[in-house]
Each structure stands twice: as structure tokens, then as C-alpha cells.
A and B are shown apart, each in its own frame.
Chain A
Amino acid sequence: MARENLMKGTTSQEDQWMVQNQCFRLYDIVYRLPPQAQSINFEVLRENHIEYLTDSLKQLGRNFQVLDANRPWFCYWIIQSIALLGDCVDDKLENGFIDFLSRCQDQDGGYGGGPGQMPHLATTYAAVNALITVGGQNSLSSINREKLYDFLLRMKDASGGFRMHDGGEVDVRACYTAISVASVLNILDDRLIQNVGDYIVRFTEDIHVATFYSCQTYEGGIAGEPCSEAHGGYTFCGLAAMVLINEADRLNLPGLLNWVVFRQGIEGGFQGRTNKLVDGCYSFWQGAVAAIIQRLHVMVNKQLGLPDTFELDCSTESGNESSDNDGEEVSEGSSSPVDISEPTKGESLSTSAAMGLNNGYDFIRRPTGMKPLFNSMALQQYILLCTQEEAGFRDKPGKRRDHYHTCYVLSGLSVCQHCNKRDADSPPLSRDVMGPYSNLVEPVHPLHNIVLDKYYEAYNFFARA
């Protein structure tokens, strides 16, 4: 480690500078344009994206050989992106879609990466989410829930976690996909939940040292397995799973919050781990973590030792401050009989809770208790100017678009646009949407990453079933 290297920088740093400069150059170019030309650059090129996605769906298979063990994922990424953009596919495609996923469904439950392949938790998650997003009687009833439940139980590991597949690895991803699927299909029960929380927050005793290691690291984020490094994708999985099994208070939430807010970088986008480069897909993984914590305010405050009612004031834009005072909203925010009736939503919940555990539904019906915990505008700017291509979205400037990034960048955009409102169902204010209001994409359920309307449809469907 020699001092003369000072001007050179480390490899990570040089990469960082390069990305940073590319982003700043893009921002600079756009902000130098005259207002009219500027605004075009902030538009979500909805038609182009939809065309790209629909075309890919038609020729699914070509060029994706590596992902042959992941085909339900492609279905999910594409259909989720289309749904976020407020569109849907035609009946023919839809039927083909349901038919294909049915062929991926194993006779003993769960979905494999393609027809004839073994069932796998990740592809099961993708298939179930995709089928819910397609929606409708045919699609929803094509899922064999009884068999799927058996499959989930078979994947349950002695540690409390889940295996990705028969003989496969146990990690936080497996816990999340199993719990998410079970929750959304209304088959989550105590047997599935048992000790999942222990796997995520605490690991079995080390033989040498009588210490417990948790998947949540000292940094505050969550790792894929105990002792590993905190990582954005796993942090989402770990947190969402803990919320769905109603044990989020076992995590160190202030630590988690601290970790996630510092993953938003100077370019506006999120990085996945400490000292890594920004990547558009973390717009969702990290952005949703922040959005989930927004609804866990009571737990956060409790852990901080603050009174129940203290609000973490995390206003990130000075612009927000001034507009906070405008009269229209004061009357909205202050007292009316509506406020008082708020908790009655809880009553209708308790009836549905009798049919099973509905922490996911409960969660989304709960009002948001904090302001956005990350800089939503900065992230939207990164998404619109740095990741959007003429069709599709990418990781960062210099990378090529793909379906994975298109899905998670759009999902992240949705999280941004909808994070500054109290109810899940109300539309956001125009000041919370960067660019024209027509940029608005559909809200998602942050624990499942399913478009909210589709989630409700499935919720009602499976509550009856």
C-alpha cells in the first residue's frame, strides 16, 4: 500500500469514478437543454417498452439458453413489467402463458425452471407471481395449492430455513420465496413458519465460540447466509419474509435502515453492497426495503426507544418542506371522521385473518407512518436518465438492457412514485412523480412485488378458496 498511488485510486474507485462521470455527464447534457427538450428526456417511453416486452414474450426462448433453468423468471419479469406499465397481453398470449407455466408445474407440487425440471423455490415464486399478475379464474386456478403446500413442507430444513430444491442450498432467498408464495396463496401456516425467524436473525451455535451469528450483519443489512456479507437482494428477502411471518421486530430495524439509506449513492441509484457500483435493479431491492420500513414505524420507534408517535423526519428535499404547509393537505391530514374510522379497516381484517395468516394483506392496508426514507427524486432521476433505453431498462450506462433489469427498475420506479402517500390505494401527488404525471406506473405490493390490483384479486380469490 504505497502512498504514491494516491492519485491513481483503487480499482473499485476507478470503476466508481467512471460510472459516476458517465451519470453526471448524462445529467449535465439533459439539464443544459432548453426546458422543452429537457422534459422529453424525463418521459417514460411507455409504448416502446411495451413493444419490447411483448415481442420478447412472443419469441421467448431464443437467445436465452443459459436461463433455460429459469424460464418462469422470464415470464414473471416480462409480465410484471407490462403490468407495471398499466398494460396487459392479449388472450392468445395469455393462454399460451398459462399453458406453459402449467407444464412447468410438478405433479408433486411446485414449479421447475422448465417442463420436466425439478420443482425449485425460486422458479415457483416466479411462476406464482406471474400467474397472479396475469390474473383471472383460469390463471389463478391453474395453481395446485395443496400440492404446492406439500412441496414447501418438503423443502423445509431442520434449521427452520428452506432448501431451494430437493438436495439444494438453504439460504435467505429460499426462506423468502417459500414464505411469499405461501402467504399470497393463503396456505401459510405455523408449520411453514416454524423457526424461519431463527434462521434469519440467528444462526446455530458455533462449536468453538458460544456466539450466535445472524444473517443480519454488524453493518445492519442482511446476508444470504450466516456470517456472509450484507447484500441488497438478501436484505429485501430477509426483511420481507420477517414481515410476512410477523417477526420483523426481531431484526435490528434502525441498523437495517441505517444500512439501506447509505447504499444510495451519489448518482442517485442504489448499490447492492458496501463499496460496489450502482445498479438499477437495486432500485427495487433496496428501495422496497426502505418502503417496507416506512410501514414498520411503530417497531422502529420502539426499538429506538422513542415514544410510539415520534416521526422520523427524513425529508430529503428542501422542496418538500415548503410545500408541506399548503392548506389543502393540512385539511386532508388533520382530523375528520375519516381519521377516526381508520382502524375499522382492522376489523374487516380480523375476519379474514381467521381464515389464515394475512400479514401481507394487513401490512399493505396499514397506513404509512413515515416520510420516504431515501431520496426518491434522485433515484427517479437515475432511473429515467441513466437506465432507460429507447426500449427497456439497464443496470447502468454502458450496460445493455435485459428483462431482469427492466422488471426491477420499473418496480423500483413504482416504489419511488408511491412512497410519499399514506394509503396504498390513493394516487400519489404529482410532485412525487418525476417527469410528466403520465410517467406514473402501477403501485406494487412491496412484500411480493406484485401489482397491487392483481394482488387484491388473488387475495380475494384465495381467501375464498
Chain B
Amino acid sequence: MHGIPRKAPTQEELDDSSLKAAKLRDLQSQLLHFHHNKIYTEEAIQISAKLLESNPEHYTAWNYRKLAVQHLLNRHHENQLDSQSPQSILDDELILVENALKTNFKAYGAWHHRKWVLSKGHSSSDRELRLLGKFQKLDSRNFHAWNYRRFITELKKIPDEDELQYTTDMIYDNFSNYSAWHNRSMLLSKLLEKSAKGYEKRENVLSEEFEFVRNALFTDPDDQSGWFYHSWLLGQTLKREPLLISSSPPHGSNLSLSIDKPDRERTFPLILYFSEAVEGVSSSTVNVEYFYDGGDGLIWYPLSANKLGFSQAWLTYIEYPLDTLESFDVKVTIAQFPGIISSNGMPCSRSCYIYFTASVCSNNQEKSEVQTTHKISWNEENFKPHSTHPEDANLLASLCKLDIAKENNPTTPMLCMETISNEIACSRELLSSSNCKIGKLTLARLLVAHNTLITYGCMDSGTEAHYEEILALYHDLMKMDPAHIGYYEDEYSLVLMKQLTSNTESLLKLCGKYQELSSPSISSYTSVRLKVLSLSRVSCLEHLLWVQMLDLSHNKLRSIEGLEALQQLSCLKLSNNRLSSFTALEPLKMLNSLQVLDVSYNEIGAHSIDTRRYMCSSPLNSATGFGWQLKRFTDEDADLKRFWDAYLLFRDLNLVQLDIVGNAVVDERLKAFLIKLMSALKWFDGESCH
């Protein structure tokens, strides 16, 4: 605050400090003189000590000391009569460092000098640990001291177990000391990794650690340190292998294939969907057996708009023969240790399989092209939910197999499940008497972890997923901590989508058919509605791989990453979301069947710093490698420059209907541009294009 007069130093203080300064300056100039002239007399060495005791930051003086020590040691070596013993020479250095640290225990030079002395083989671990004990008591967060401690531990080969005990003591002394927690995480990682005695059983060790940290959390739930350690611990507990969790066609299903197709189109897509993004899916890691082929030649594509090689969903096309009307079985096997690896480095280590039957028939029940004489209105009144017809549950069961995971997958160790359940119970108890933000977040994460472990199959059949509780927690967090609302919204979305799609009953509530007289072709589509749910992102699409018509309108979507997996999708409604650029729609380019798209009332072009435009540089500046076909546009060069991001998206889509009204970017010029670009387009913003 201003206006509070600064207390001027008294004359006495000024005199005192200038006297000190003068003294110090004198010491310094003497030292520099000795240093430059390589004078290592006893008197000179004492002066350097005086200087360093009052100014431990004087690194030139520390170097002078090193040279002096070397000089004295050499003298001793040469058997000079008056020489000191190496012991006492080095002892002097240790004492000096200790004195210097008393003046300023954050001086780099002093700590470094001590390391130098130690590396000469002097001093004992006891002596060093005692010194450290003193300084770490004075300032338990001093990172110089912690660094020095790790140095000593390494040098003197002090067992990690002892050091772990030291962190235990430090934490008991003051559990808000995050530096101690940090060192504990380093030590525990080491011990677990080398399976030291007593640390062979990872689950047991982690379970005990949870109990340890819980004590701290209970003592004071508002202190952050324990929570951060807890979150690290949870991460360690949840390191699990990726799983194959669903497929299209689904496990155990009957697939009808059309015989009426021309030869080159006699293929059907096969999609594998994993519990997390993986790499390494190929014909050598996935074996596809069907009646005449081992699937050796199959090429697998990651269904992800990013080019990293990691994807949750993988696609291949299977060719079926011309001359058979019989049905045939397809078995897809992921062999043990096949080289499929998640982005955090965990390999798929269990063998698992899916099978389904394909039959070729002339009566084509396959998906039909959207009829284009009438537009799709997404009319609410025409929507007939499946939930009113219980028999539709059977239909749904044929579309997706909800429990593929359970047949194939490894079971979670009971102890791990117990640990998490126990942590959940304790966190709930804790929150009953406290309303802390980080506690709520931890409980939400624990409950999510619990759900994940259930997916991995658990012997304990009594366990249930806690969706409602997690959603309520994230809801609270959004209100309590609006600064991080984006994060909470994303987490909320993940859980909500999981909840809505995880079982037949809830999934059925989302399904229905549009019975629109105007376009009878879509009446055969089963449509899924995920609207007005406040979703900010999409995920958990494993049970939606069959969807042809999807309504995601009136959410808060900023990204549609993940939708790439829905290869059957023909009609997609994304209106009234927060999509802010054409490039955010990139995943749509991988949806080969997409014909009807509604992105009206989003925020495309509405942001002041529309930096997304710059992330990929304008293709006009890098003419090579872009495959530009400028022929059609030579006259409208200006338009192309202006709408190149729209061009890059829409040239790859084969839309018959597009709704884009209500975005800041839309004007007559863009409309004309898009209509010209997409020759198949029949309906634009509700009006016929022709």
C-alpha cells in the first residue's frame, strides 16, 4: 500500500553498515590480490576464511580455497616439515563451510565446496547427516540441503530404506513439508523398481503408503502437501495395461453383407476400440482369421485426426469373396505380448479375442445412402424413443456387445481394489467434516479409478459404479473453483458419457428413430441423442461404434476429438456448441459415410485472437506437398485465400446437407464458396442449393 512512510535508516545504522562494507571491501581486495598472485600463506588463507564467513556467495574466494587446499596437500605430499596433515587441512574446510552456511545457507558456493571436500574422501556420513539435520531443521524446504542429502546418500551408499525412514520422520515432524514428500516419492520409486527386500509386492507397498498419507490428510485436510503425494500415489496404483474393450462388428454378432455391390466394394470395415490410445496395431500384432485368410495382408489405420500413431480406435477393411452365399466366421485375436503399447508405455499383455459371423445375402439390409430429395429436419416431434418399446433392447444388444471386456480381461488384484475402496471410504469421511477443494477432487479421481478397475473386471461383484457421486463432486468443484472450470467440465463430460453409455438400460434411453415422412430412408436409422448435457468433449465411444445418426446439439463442445471412431455415422448434429474454428472439425474428415452435418450456432470465427488459423500455415505459401487443385478456383483466388481453412475441411467431406448458420464466419461469400466447393450438396441452411 502506498502512503505509509518508509522508515529511514538511522545514522547509526548507516555508519555501521558502511563500516562493514569497508571492512568487507578490504578483505575482498586482499583476497583478489592473493588469488591473482597465488599466495597461499597461513595469513592469506585466514583472510579468505574471514571473507567467506561474512560473504559465502564469493565464489572466487571458494575457488581460491580449493587451490590453497591443493597447494597444502601437495606440500604435505612433498614432506615439507611444517605441513599440516591432510585430515586437518580438509577439516578446516568443513568447518569453514559450516560457518559460511550459518551466515547464508542458500549459498551455492558453500554447498558446492563441501561436495568438493567430500569427494576427496573426507568426512563421515554421520557427520554430514548431523550437519544436514541441523540445517534441515532450520529450513525444511531448503533445496540446497535436500540436494546435498541426495549427494551424500549416493556417495556414502546410505541405503534408500534409511532415507525413506528419514522422510517418514520429517513428515511426522511437519507433514506440510512437501520437499520430504517429494524425496519420498523418488525413494519409493527406486525401491519398487529394484524390488528391494520388503518392496517386492507393489500392491502391498502402495496400500501401506496410502495409509501413511491418509494420516497426514486427516490431521489437516487443508494442507496441500499430502494431497499432492496422494495424487502421485494414485497414479502409481492405476498403471494398468490397455485393453480391447469393444469392436465393430461387435463380439458375437451376425453381420449381413450385400452381394449386390460391385467387386471392388466388397469389403466391410472392422474396428477395434481400446481402453486408451495405443500404437502398434498391425497385421503382425492382430490376427484376423476368416474362412480363407489369416489376415496377413490387412492394413490397420489409426482412427485419430492427430498424426501421432496413437489411437483408441483402429480400422481395417476386410474383403469378402464374390462367389459364396454361405456365412463365415471371423475371429480376431490379439496374441500375448503382441507389441500393442499404450501412450504411457504399458503393453497389452493378455491374449484376447473377438468373433462374429458374417453372411452374404442379396436382400440388402445394409445402410443406405441418405435420400436426398428431402432434407433431414431432426424434427423433435418425429422422434420415437426406443425406451417405449422394450423389444428394441434386443436390437441394441445386436448392435453392441456391452460386456466384451469381462470375457477377455485380466482381473484387478483384489488388494488394489480394496485399497481404492478403502481410500474412497476415508475420503468421504474426511469430506463430511471439511469442504476442501482438493479433497473433493481427490475423491472424484478415486471414484473414477474405482470405475476403471471395475472395467478391468473384479471378483467382487458387489462393486458398483459411482457416477452420480462423481458428477455431483465435479459440479461442486465448478462452483467452488471457477478458475479451473474448463478442466472440471471436461472431467464431468468423460464421466457423464461413460454413465450414459455403460449399460443397456441407460443406452436405450438415448436411442430412437426419426419417423420422418419426408425422408423415409432415415427411418431405418437408429439415432442416438446426447443433447443438452453440458458435454465439453466426447469420449467413451466404445458402445456407440454402430451409430448412424447422432445428435450432440446444445452442449458445450469445444472439440469433437474421438468421433473419428464412428465410421457408420451418416448424420451428425453439432448445433449450439462452442466449436470455434473449421479446423476443430478436423475429425470429420475421417468419417467416410458422413452426409448430413449441422454445425449451426457455434463460434466459428468468433474469437478475437483466432490463432487456430496460424497453426497450420496457409497452404498457399507451401505449394509443394499439399496436393492443391487450383483449377476450379483460378478466378476465385481471393476466395480461396480467404477461406482456405474451410476449403481444407469441406473438400474432403461428401455432404448432401449442411447447416452452418449462426457462426460469425458465415457470410454470403462463404456460402457461395461452399456451394461451389461441394458438388454433391443439396441442402444448405435449410434451402435447396439448386
Report A's interface with B, CB cutoff 8 A: 1-3, 5-6, 9-13, 26, 29, 41, 45, 61-70, 112-114, 116-118, 120, 164-169, 206, 208-209, 211, 213, 217-219, 223-225, 227-229, 231, 273-276, 297-298, 301-302, 305-311, 313-316, 318, 323-326, 329-330, 332-337, 339-340, 342-344, 346, 367-371, 375, 385, 388-390, 397, 420-422
Contact = CB atoms under 8 A, between A and B. Distances in A.
B568 interface: no
A375 B6 CA distance: 31
Given A1-B216, A169-B112, A339-B613, A68 B25 contact: yes
B300 interface: no
B305 A227 contact: no
Nearest to B643: A335
B642 interface: yes
Contacts of A6: 219-220
Interface in B1-24: 1-4, 6, 17-18, 20-21, 24
A325 B25 CA distance: 62
Contacts of A10: 174-176, 220, 223
Interface of B: 1-4, 6, 17-18, 20-21, 24-25, 28-29, 32, 35-36, 54-55, 57-60, 63, 66, 104, 108-109, 111-112, 115-116, 141, 143, 146-147, 150, 172, 174-179, 182-183, 185-186, 189-190, 193-194, 215-216, 218-220, 222-225, 228, 232, 235, 277, 304-306, 308, 310, 343, 482-483, 486, 558-559, 561, 578, 580-581, 583-584, 586-587, 605-618, 620-622, 641-644, 664-665
Contact of B63 (A167, A276, A316): A167
A330 to B, nearest CB: 6
Contacts of B176: 10-13, 275
A340 B641 contact: yes
B559 A310 contact: yes
A340 B621 contact: yes
Nearest to A386: B1
A335 B666 CA distance: 12
Nearest to A207: B154
Contacts of A12: 174, 176-177, 223, 225
A306 B561 contact: yes
A346 B304 CA distance: 30
Given A9-B220, A310-B584, A368 B343 contact: no
Contacts of B189: 211
Contacts of A66: 54-55, 57, 104
B620 A68 contact: no
Nearest to B608: A329
Contacts of B616: 308-309
A68 B55 contact: yes
Given A68-B28, A307-B561, A3 B219 contact: yes
B584 A275 contact: no
A1 B211 CA distance: 13
Contacts of B611: 297, 311, 367-370, 422
A69 B583 contact: no
Given A29-B1, A66-B55, A165-B63, A225 B190 contact: no
Contacts of A325: 606, 664
B36 A334 contact: no
A64 B218 CA distance: 46
B55 A65 contact: yes
A1 B215 contact: yes
Given A1-B215, A66-B55, A275-B178, A311 B612 contact: yes
A223 B177 CA distance: 17
Contact of A227 (B150, B584, B613): B150
A69 B55 contact: yes
A342 B614 CA distance: 8
21 contacts: A6-B220, A10-B176, A11-B174, A13-B223, A62-B17, A65-B25, A164-B108, A166-B63, A168-B108, A209-B190, A273-B141, A301-B615, A302-B308, A305-B306, A323-B608, A330-B664, A344-B621, A346-B617, A368-B609, A390-B6, A422-B614
A332 B613 CA distance: 12
A257 B24 CA distance: 44
A285 to B, nearest CB: 14
A1 B190 contact: no
B18 A313 contact: no
A309 B1 contact: no
A375 to B, nearest CB: 6
A225 B111 CA distance: 14
A121 B485 CA distance: 43
Nearest to A334: B605
A370 B177 CA distance: 35
